[in-house]
Amino acid sequence: MIILGIDPGVATTGWAIVDFDKDGNPKPIDYGVVSTSKKLSLSERLCEIYKDISELVEKYKPEYGGVETLLFSKNVKTAIAVGEARGVVLLVFEQNNIPIKDVNPMQVKNCISGYGKADKKQVQENVKMICNLEEIPKPDDAADAIAIAITTDMILKQ
């Protein structure tokens, strides 16, 4: 089963295509980030995210999408913009009839590290170990997207 994990953001949206074998072992096929320039308007940045995620869906044909939910931020303006980026990702999945699982940061940390308040470094190290990778996936948002895909798979099996 192929899952596209997404860590939404306006400046940087992490993504990961993870294939799970019949035993449920994750194998990252590809991962990276969609980066948008601060010089662009918000609507132009959202269009870039839409275009790039649409291309990933077309190329890899994921069976499920996992998207991290937002934690309320002290900076409301940032939280709203990230919510808009998340909405664009959800739109791509819906337009392509890809079932979506929402995962919250605590679920991801708990699934990957066994502790809902694990720090970012713990999650990244565990992603490396779980996926038998030689190094931690870079950038951080891509490693987070792999963790989101793994968590999505776990939720689907419940």
**Catalytic pick among 7, 48, 52, 144:** 7
Per-residue pLDDT of the chain (158 residues; tens, 9 = 90+): 999 999 999 999 999 999 999 999 999 999 999 999 999 999 999 999 999 999 999 999 999 999 999 876 666 777 888 999 999 999 999 999 999 999 999 999 999 999 988 998 999 999 999 999 999 999 999 999 999 999 999 999 98
The per-residue pLDDT for 72 is 62
In sequence order, what are the residues at sequence separation of 6 or more whose Cβ sits closer than 8 angstroms to the Cβ of residue 24? 153, 157
The per-residue pLDDT for 104 is 94
3-class SS letters over 53-121? HHHHHHHHCCCEEEEECCCCCCCHHHHHHHHHHHHHHHHHHHHCCCCEEEECHHHHHHHHHCCCCCCHH
In the chain, what are the domains? Answer: 2-157 (3.30.420.10)
**Catalytic pick among 48, 52, 68, 153:** 68
- Assess whether 125 carries a catalytic annotation: no
- Assess whether 7 carries a catalytic annotation: yes
Count of other CB atoms within 10 angstroms of residue 158: 4
**Catalytic pick among 48, 52, 141, 153:** 141
- Assess whether 58 carries a catalytic annotation: no
